[in-house]
Amino acid sequence: MAAIDAGYRHFDCAYVYQNEKEVGEGIQEKIKEGVVKRSDLFIVSKLWCTFHEKPLVKGACQKTSANLKLNYLDLYLIHWPLGFKAGEELPTDDKGMSIPSNRDILHALEELVDAGLVKTERILNKPGLKHKSNVSQEELIKHCHCKGIAVRAYCPLGSPDRPSGMDYRMLLDDPKIKEIATKHNKTPAWILLHFHIQRNVIAIPKSVTPQRIVENFKVFEFELTKEEMAAILSVNRNWRVYTMSTCKTHKEYPFSAEY
């Protein structure tokens, strides 16, 4: 509710987050209050892996819609689509669409573009991560934008509440990010969010703190220079928040590829 009041209209939900009922109640309350209409909102949710079997897909989507108290979802993602075939039992009508997330993205794109399904793809995208090959995320983003595909960045602040890996350094505490923040008299979170927006990538930060929810939305008020954008990209250390390591041996494991 605080997010809708602050101006957010795009919500990234998932069955596995176990909060769809609460999110749905908040949305309904704001619709009833007349703050927003359903059509003002872009609501995303995701099919969890335990529902990948064909007969389960539609029911899972309907359950999520019911939990969220919505007649339709704007985007339904396959949360971790290993083994999931595009086009299987996907509820695609003129209101909602369904596509994989967290995929070996270039292959997923080829598949989905061929199937005529792709409109949006999501990838983990933050300054601390760049792919190891010459197909870096910068190129990937350019490739998506060339094809008219919107890219969403999850964990845009570096997911500071996750357990850290050996190679981990808090993006919000990074000296380069802090230096740029000080120069603009902004917080590191603003710099990280603005970095995405400035390169036309949709950022979906999470916060349970109303003050931060408001702060994170006010990122449209300044410009980063070309040098600052390059400095933020240089924070890269090929580190991933999510590796889905239990699936490393799966033939479609997305992150063992060079991108």
Ligand X SMILES: NC(=O)c1ccc[n+]([C@@H]2O[C@H](COP(=O)([O-])OP(=O)(O)OC[C@H]3O[C@@H](n4cnc5c(N)ncnc54)[C@H](OP(=O)(O)O)[C@@H]3O)[C@@H](O)[C@H]2O)c1
Toward ligand X, which CB reaches closer, 6 or 172?
A: 172
**Segment contacting ligand X by CB under 6 A, of 61-69, 88-96, 150-158, 228-236:** 150-158
Tell me which of 8, 15, 17, 168 is the catalytic residue: 17
- For the question of residue 154 being annotated catalytic, the response is no
Query: In Å, how far are 45, 125, 215 from 70, measured between CA atoms?
Result: 11, 29, 28
**Segment contacting ligand X by CB under 6 A, of 33-41, 67-75, 132-140, 208-216:** 208-216
Q: How far is the CB of 155 from ligand X (least distance, A)?
A: 4
Count of chain residues binding ligand X (CB under 6 A): 25
**Considering only CA atoms, which of 97, 151, 142 is closest in space to residue 121?**
151
Task: By CB under 6 A, tell whether 8 contacts ligand X.
Answer: no
Q: Is 107 in contact with 259 (CB distance < 8 Å)?
A: no
Taking CB under 6 A as the criterion, the residue among 92, 136, 207, 236 binding ligand X is 207
- Which residues ranging from 61 to 90 are in contact with ligand X (CB under 6 A)? 79
Task: By CB under 6 A, tell whether 164 contacts ligand X.
Answer: no
Binding annotation for substrate: 79
Q: Which residues are catalytic?
A: 17
Q: Where do contacts with ligand X occur on this chain (CB under 6 A)?
A: 12, 79, 101-102, 154-161, 172, 187, 189, 204-209, 212, 215-216, 242
